[in-house]
Structure 1
């Protein structure tokens, strides 16, 4: 079984490298549906997994100077307190209880569907906003919207481990349409590091992290992400995103049913 976990980590890492979509939307449903792992444990383990992988990504983007730290600060102002509150709520209601696990399962399904929407419509949203500059937020309203978006993402990520990737990047596109794709990716990854770290710490406090599983996933994902990143330009992006959106829609339906 440990080899199977490593292979799964490799497969998810490969897809993340090819598509740029966050591993949570792939890894958490995989652990829940394929391996029958408790949803809370799947979420907690994936958050620890994400905090490690996103840290490495942040260093790379920092070297390329593609991180807007002022935006990261605003997102963290909303996301980090929300993550703490969500973790306390899971502790209070019992993260490993059957009823709460069902809620977590539905939260994962909802987050997966949000990822699908982000995959399919992000480019169209950005094009529309670029064509209508009068719709852009500025100043105080933009700052408040960024903090609120961070709070929503912090809650979503802590409960489902999904949202810091495609959903977070899509929100950044809507709020900051003038940023380049590299700047969107760098800023999204940078704010997700403290968010996933705090959320993972909360799940460690809840006792919902499987450390052996985490080690096997990391063992497979590192070469997977590397190979996927190198091969990304050779595979048509539209085909990959369409395939991924179709797969994730089926995953969300399976989680609900």
Structure 2
């Protein structure tokens, strides 16, 4: 166990507790730039880290708040889980024929970070200015109707499946934006709970896939968990005292700069 990893886990967990997003988008660049991990190892480790840390949140949303729309979770998973498996297979194939995949992972990570930075700003705007009523059913209150709404939800899941598996980034902020746009009348609490519930199987499948390829550092994973769990708890309790309208733009700017560095590397 490295005290630096534990402290990093605490810092990221604290920020996630305050802002509600930013786990993968902060943790993966931190592991690459501060500790010198290969991007592929940082991505693989962070995916399992995300799956484990998000589980407690879903337990609260489902059990206490009843704020998970499992039908939407299922539709997104129909797209995301198979695409995650296919993406892992493609990575494995590229490795088997000797192709260098670090550049691919690094570029995907940069794009995902830039998209997440934009999503953070848009998400704040939507949640602040757009009043939504609680829906009577997910499909009937969607932006489209019938099979078109179903197809759009599955396709959104598929895009997230590829992006998250390649970068470990996007399951939170990008998933939330997607649900907000597809289901504009859904309550904010249910948007967050549904996105969180979809992120767990996606990050778990992607993380296990990276594990099978040898891209997970379990000593690092344990250290991050030791730090992040109390960090999330403390951050969650302090979130009401720290102005979100200040934190989110700062976080978005940081992610935009880091993402640009990855893309231009």
Q: Show structure 2 runs of 5+ residues with no match.
A: 133-140
1:173 aligned to 2:174?
no
1:252 aligned to 2:259?
yes
In structure 2, the CA distance between the partners of 1:98 and 1:242, relative to structure 1 (3 Å rule), is farther
Partner of residue 247, structure 2: 240
Check conservation: 1:129, 1:136, Cα contact below 8 A. Answer: no
In structure 2, the CA distance between the partners of 1:56 and 1:100, relative to structure 1 (3 Å rule), is same
TM-superposition CA deviations, 1:183-224 (whole Å, max 9, x none): 011000101111111101100111000000000000000000
2:151, 2:51 → 1: CA distance? 26
Q: Show structure 1 runs of 5+ residues with no match.
A: none
1:27, 1:254 → 2: CA distance? 16
What's the secondary structure of 1:136's corresponding residue? Answer: coil
What's the secondary structure of 1:111's corresponding residue? Answer: helix
Aligned residues between the structures: 253
Q: CA deviation at 1:123?
A: 4.1
Q: CA deviation at 1:125?
A: 4.9
Partner of residue 204, structure 2: 197
2:130, 2:235 → 1: CA distance? 30
2:124, 2:225 → 1: CA distance? 31
Instruction: Provide TM-score, normalisation by structure 2.
Output: 0.91
1:9-158 superposed matches below 5 A: 9-63=9-63, 64-94=65-95, 99-125=100-126, 127=129, 136-158=143-165
- The runs of at least 4 consecutive aligned structure 1 residues that moved more than 6 Å come to none
Check conservation: 1:129, 1:174, Cα contact below 8 A. Answer: no
In structure 2, the CA distance between the partners of 1:245 and 1:123, relative to structure 1 (3 Å rule), is closer
What's the secondary structure of 2:72's corresponding residue? Answer: helix
1:197, 1:135 → 2: CA distance? 28
The structure in which a higher percent of residues are helix is 1
Check conservation: 1:40, 1:104, Cα contact below 8 A. Answer: yes
1:32, 1:236 → 2: CA distance? 29
